[in-house]
Amino acid sequence: MKELIRQKAVALGFDACFVTGADRPDHAEAFEQWLADGRNGEMQWLARNAPKRVDPQLVLPGARSIVCLAASYHRAEGSSGPIARYARFDDYHDVLASRLVELTAYIDAASDDASTRSLWYVDTGPLLERDLAQRAGLGFVGKHTNLIGRTLGNWFFLSEIITTLALEPDVPEKNRCGSCTKCLTACPTNALPAPFTLDARRCISYLTIELKGSIPVELRPLIGNHVYGCDDCLAACPWNRFAREASIMKSVVRTELDQPDLLELLTLDDTAFKKRFAGSPILRTKRRGLLRNVCVVLGNTGDLGVLAALEKAVADPEPLIAEHATWATAEILKRNSARAPLG
C-alpha cells in the first residue's frame, strides 16, 4: 500500500514521498523550549497551537501514519535576488492543494477500512513538519534549521497527509552536515547563533514577512537588498549541488520577480499592489509591509537618484511606509555626505 501511495505521489508530480508514524515528534521538547525562550517573536500562532504540534493525535484522533511529501522549487536560472526564490511562483499553497486533495482521496479509497480518515496540509497545519519529515527519511534538519534532502538540496516545499491508515514507517534520516558551518556564517543578522538554533526575531525572512510593525533600526542595515524573505543560509548549503529542477512549480514561475524594479514597486497603491501580486505569497505582507521593506533596501543600496521616489513615500498616508522612507532618506544622505570631498 505504501508503495502504491508513493507511485501515485510521483505521478502527481511530487519529488519525494516518505512515511512516518503519527506519534510524538522527536524534538517536541526542543520546540516547546524554543517557544518558552520567545524566539518565535510575534508568531503567536505557533504558541497557540503548540499542543497539537507536539501531539498528532490532537490533530486527527486515531492517526497512525503521516505521509511526508516534497515538491521542488529549484530553478537553474533562478539565482539570488531581492525576493526569496520560493516566492517567485504562484502561491505554493494553492498550487499543491489540488494534488494533495487527489492523493488524500486516493489513500482513503484504497484503504480496506471504510472508516479511514485522512487530512492534508501544506505548511498550514499544526504539525512539526521538518521533524516528522526527518523521521520519515525525506531529509535531515540542517544547522540552519531547514530540511535538507540528499537528492533535493534545500529548495523544496513540504506537505503532509496525516491518516488513520497504518503504513510501514520508512527509515529515519540522520544528520549529514558534518563539520560544515557555511549556513551559520552566511546569515547577515546572526539569526543562527548556534547550530540547529534559530532566533526568528533576527531572521530576515521573519523581519520582512512575519513582522507586521517597524523593523528594529539596528537590524535595518543588515537586511541589505532583501525585499521579501532571504535565501542566504539556504544558498550556502553544499547539498544544493544535488538540487532537482522543479516539476510541479515550473509552470507557475513568475520570472518578473527575479529582479523587480524597486522604484516601480514604491509607486503601487493598494489596488495596484493586490493586482500585481494576486495569487502570490507576497500578498501576505500587504502593501504596507512590502513597501516598508522596499524603503529599507533603498536606504541600504540606493543613491541620490532614488530620493525623489522616497520623498513621495515619506508623504504616504500609511505611517509604517512613511517612517521607513524617512529612515532610508537619511541613510542615503548620510552615506553621500561621507563621500563628499572636503573643501
Give the domain ranges of the chain: 2-163, 261-343
Angle (CA) 262-265-267 rounded to 5° is 120
Q: Active-site residue numbers?
A: 123
What is the rounded distance in angstroms from the CA atom of residue 297 to the CA atom of residue 311?
15
Residue-wise pLDDT for 18-47, tens only, equals 999 999 999 989 988 989 999 888 888 888
Q: Is residue 298 over pLDDT 90?
A: yes
Report whether 168 contacts 2 (CB < 8 A): yes
The DSSP letter of residue 210 is I
What is the rounded distance in angstroms from the CA atom of residue 129 to the CA atom of residue 149?
14
Q: Is residue 342 over pLDDT 70?
A: no
Separation in Å, CA 18 to CA 129, 134, 168, 175, 207: 12, 10, 10, 17, 33
- Domain 261-343, CATH among 1.10.3470, 1.10.8, 1.25.10, 1.10.1660: 1.25.10
Residue-wise pLDDT for 130-187, tens only, equals 999 999 999 999 999 999 999 999 999 999 999 999 999 999 999 999 999 999 999 9
User: Residue holding cell 482521496?
Assistant: 105
Provide the 10 A C-beta neighbour count for residue 308: 9
Residue partners of 341: CB distance under 8 A and separation at least 6? none
Q: Where are the beta strands (DSSP E) in the chain?
A: 16-21, 65-72, 118-121, 140-141, 147-148, 156-163
Mean per-residue pLDDT for 65-69? Answer: 98
Q: Is residue 99 over pLDDT 60?
A: yes
